[in-house]
Amino acid sequence: MDDGSDDDLVFIEEERHPQGPSAQDSSWRVLIVDDDRDVHEATEFALSGVEILGRKLELIHAFSGKEAIALLEREQDVAVVLLDVVMESDDAGLKTVEAIRQELMLLNIRIILRTGQPGQAPEADTIARYDINDYKTKSELTHARLFTTLTSAIRSYSQLKCLDASRLGLEKIVSASNQFIAEKGLNAFADGVITQLASLIGIAPEGLVCATSSEGAGDPEQYRVIAAAGRYQHLIQHRLEEIDNVHIARSLNQVLRNHYSVVGSRDITLFFRKNSTEGFAAYIESAAPIRDVDQHLLEIFCTNIALCAKNIDLVTELRLDALVDRQVGLPNRNALIAELDRRAHDGATSNVVALVDIDQFAATNDMLGHAYGDALLRAMAQRLRALFDSSVFVARLAGDAFALTGPAHLLEADSIQRLFAHPFLIDDIDHAVSVCLGIAACADSADSQDTLNNAYVALRRAKALGIGQSITFSPEIGEAARQRTSLLRDLRQAFEQRELSIVYQPQIDLQTGRIIGAEALMRWQRRNGQFVPPEQFIPIAEQSGLIVSIGRWMLPEALRTLKRFHQAGLDGLHMAVNVSSIQLRQPGFLDFVNASLAETDVAPNHLELEITESIALESLETMIALLNQLRSRGITIAIDDFGTGYSSLNYLEQLPIDHLKIDRSFVTSLASSERGSRIVRTIALLGNELDVRTVAEGVENQSTGDRLREFGCHAAQGYHYAHPMDETSFLDWMKEHA
């Protein structure tokens, strides 16, 4: 944006009145305080016609300390006080000094003490403490001495004033810069420049700001008035050449063309540089002569303001970024909230928010690449925008989630779902996409953020149900979400405080009747003794990701138990451990399993991992690779709850697995229905076909066990044989049933 040089900060001073800008209207004001009238007259006589540093003197008179203080309270800009020490009291003069410095807080004013006799002189530390400029006996103050004493006092007064102005100016520049950061757009900014500049110089804000345009930077035809204050207001947005005042037009033109500032006695035209070609100029005029402004301050002002101008461009961009999603060109979440607020404010009734979330976006993105993912998001954005009229506001939230808000009758779940019946054409290939929907009504009283949160709650419910689902928020759903949240909080605490434990359920070889292994199952017993069923807390642990930490504790723990089983003489047993797909997806999962085996000194072929069919919904290739790596170590893989998931037989054929666990629901129906029995037989046959062993779970009676054996099922577990037991009970049980 900028080439960094600031060589354009050249100030050109126009010719000035030789006496300086304000010779006649400013004289140095000198206050004479003495109770002796003769002293006043003598001083007046001695100083008549005298000029100091190019200015005349204006003498003011007071005849007591009290009067002097009253006077100084009213009068501005008194440079020097010639002060008698002994007046209404012996120390009236010193009291006056104290009041000037400490009560009136006049720190710049110079004080010269005069006494009748040398003995009345104040102590040295008093002189220092009150910053008394000089101390003279009256007889010492002859005409010549008075002149030199006053000159040095006035010089230091004027220097102090300048310092003051610089300090104030700097403060103003700093605060101006801060304000500019908050300005919206260049015009408001330029307005601010006039105000700030006028205040820096100490005149009324009246002036013009003219800017070059980025299109025709060097072309004066393109110079435009972007801010105008006071009597120039009518010129706003006019071209430079339309400014009726020739002097102003010429000054601005000159400054914009030459890239330097011009300081005149009644006006100032400053150049602010944005980059090597662009910039703008501010013209400020004052009816009264502009007092001697510190050139240095103006330079600082210009640099600072120019920097701010660059920031304005940046801020404008950022503001746009703040409201628009650049990737798909839709309004973003902030804009959605603003829109919801606006609609609520306008009293738009029966509006809803519908969140649209692409199913398995992350997995597809991994599989087909990010370019595909980006193209899909853009296609989604286009379709959503194109299919609704302007009464529906379409925004993109984070990631693969979009939001629609508008009248409820336009945003019904079914009608939105129908929009995704047709595939998306990406790179000339059709891609079928399904979405989950979460819908929430915009209640009159509700805050927009609450509405959006409700829609999110509904969306999460929908996603938990599977793909292509829609849920509309209701108070019951909200309550359930709150309960899940509090359950998760409790679970987290229970896990940290080691309140989770593991129980072990024996697995039986159906041919030999021998115990071949155990499945490790998690238990959560609350402090009050109540057990929370795994069906309740496991899904929450999975959704929140907490299952990863729990799993890191669980696997080595189960393996340590297995080691103790082996050491107790049960050396053929294997341990089956459930792992969720989210655990499998963790990048370090394989290393973690290896480390757990090494740490507990268990041979890999004694470990079985139970996974569910839903992992086939993940990137299949990655999953196959991982399973192959696990199996190559000797670990066995079982598909849990077989028959309840979504996967097709095609997936099953590709997955490298060792066991199929026939879901309990089928095993239960085996005894009660002919159909149930056919299903179980078919799964057992399928297992044989695929060359994997089948394990039946939930066997509750002898006859079911017998039927399973007839079907060629290999192993079984269930209450008929044993309930899940803690480690000690398991060992006792084994002793009895060996």
Binding site for ligand C2E (CB under 6 A): 505, 521-522, 533-535, 538, 554, 578-580, 640-641, 664, 697-700, 717-719, 724
Identify the bridge partners of residue 134 per DSSP, sorted by sequence position.
112
397-456 positions binding Ca ion, by CB under 5 A: none
Cβ at position 367, least distance to Ca ion in Å: 28
Identify the bridge partners of residue 664 per DSSP, sorted by sequence position.
none
* CA gap 108, 167 in Å, rounded: 14
The residue length of the chain stands at 738
Rounded to whole angstroms, what are the CA distances from 482 to 416, 461, 493? 27, 12, 17
Continuous segment of H or E residues that includes residue 582: helix 581-585
Nearer residue to Ca ion within complex by CB, 21 or 676: 676
Nearer residue to ligand C2E within complex by CB, 259 or 523: 523
Q: Is 84 helix (H, G, I), strand (E, B) or coil?
A: strand
Helix axes of 448-465 and 534-544: crossing angle, nearest 10 degrees: 120
* CA gap 356, 415 in Å, rounded: 12
Cβ at position 699, least distance to ligand C2E in Å: 6
Using alpha carbons, select from 518, 576, 579 the residue that is nearest to residue 551.
579
Cβ at position 618, least distance to ligand C2E in Å: 15
- When CB distances are held under 5 to 8 angstroms depending on the partner's kind, the choice from Ca ion, ligand C2E, none that residue 169 binds is none
* CA gap 152, 441 in Å, rounded: 80
- When CB distances are held under 5 to 8 angstroms depending on the partner's kind, the choice from ligand C2E, Ca ion, none that residue 533 binds is ligand C2E
Helix spans in 64-201 (H): 65-74, 92-98, 124-129, 143-182, 185-201
Cβ at position 691, least distance to ligand C2E in Å: 23
Cβ at position 563, least distance to ligand C2E in Å: 18
Position 580 contacts Ca ion (CB under 5 A): no
Nearer residue to Ca ion within complex by CB, 192 or 698: 698
Burial group, residue 29, by CB count within 10 angstroms (0-12, 13-18, 19+): buried
Nearer residue to ligand C2E within complex by CB, 383 or 552: 552
Nearer residue to Ca ion within complex by CB, 357 or 608: 608
Nearer residue to Ca ion within complex by CB, 204 or 503: 503
Nearer residue to Ca ion within complex by CB, 130 or 642: 642
Neighbouring C-beta atoms of residue 499, cutoff 10 Å: 15
Nearer residue to Ca ion within complex by CB, 420 or 537: 537
Nearer residue to ligand C2E within complex by CB, 364 or 578: 578
- When CB distances are held under 5 to 8 angstroms depending on the partner's kind, the choice from ligand C2E, Ca ion, none that residue 494 binds is none
Cβ at position 178, least distance to ligand C2E in Å: 55
Nearer residue to Ca ion within complex by CB, 393 or 537: 537
* CA gap 463, 483 in Å, rounded: 18
Q: Which region, left, alpha or beta, applies to residue 456 given φ > 0 means left and ψ of -120 to 50 means alpha?
A: alpha
> Exactly one of 158, 451, 578, 636 binds Ca ion (CB under 5 A); which one?
578
Helix spans in 395-447 (H): 413-418
623-662 positions binding Ca ion, by CB under 5 A: 640-641
Using alpha carbons, select from 586, 677, 679, 593 the residue that is nearest to residue 637.
593
Cβ at position 433, least distance to Ca ion in Å: 31
Strands (E), 161-305: 207-211, 224-229, 261-263, 267-273, 279-285
Do 380 and 402 form a contact (C-beta atoms < 8 A)? yes
Cβ at position 325, least distance to Ca ion in Å: 43
Cβ at position 395, least distance to Ca ion in Å: 42
Position 608 contacts Ca ion (CB under 5 A): no
> For strand 279-285 and strand 51-52, is the pairing parallel, antiparallel, or unpaired?
unpaired
Q: At 135, which amino acid appears?
A: Y
- When CB distances are held under 5 to 8 angstroms depending on the partner's kind, the choice from ligand C2E, Ca ion, none that residue 521 binds is ligand C2E
* CA gap 88, 66 in Å, rounded: 9
Position 505 contacts Ca ion (CB under 5 A): no
> Exactly one of 610, 613, 618, 727 binds Ca ion (CB under 5 A); which one?
610
User: Segment contacting Ca ion (CB under 5 A): 63-71, 113-121, 573-581, 684-692?
Assistant: 573-581
Using alpha carbons, select from 734, 674, 672 the residue that is nearest to residue 698.
672
Neighbouring C-beta atoms of residue 587, cutoff 10 Å: 7
Cβ at position 519, least distance to ligand C2E in Å: 7
The token duo for 195 is 């105000």
Nearer residue to ligand C2E within complex by CB, 278 or 697: 697
Number of residues in contact with Ca ion, rule: CB under 5 A? Answer: 4
How many Cα atoms are found within 13 Å in the side-chain-facing hemisphere of 169? 23
How many Cα atoms are found within 13 Å in the side-chain-facing hemisphere of 545? 2
Cα dihedral 291→292→295→301 (10° resolution): -20
Cβ at position 661, least distance to ligand C2E in Å: 7
Cβ at position 543, least distance to ligand C2E in Å: 12
- When CB distances are held under 5 to 8 angstroms depending on the partner's kind, the choice from Ca ion, ligand C2E, none that residue 645 binds is none
Nearer residue to ligand C2E within complex by CB, 306 or 554: 554
The contacts of residue 272 (CB under 8 Å, 6+ apart) are 193, 279, 280, 281, 282, 302, 305, 306, 309
Cβ at position 640, least distance to Ca ion in Å: 4
Nearer residue to ligand C2E within complex by CB, 65 or 506: 506
Contact positions vs Ca ion (CB under 5 A): 578, 610, 640-641
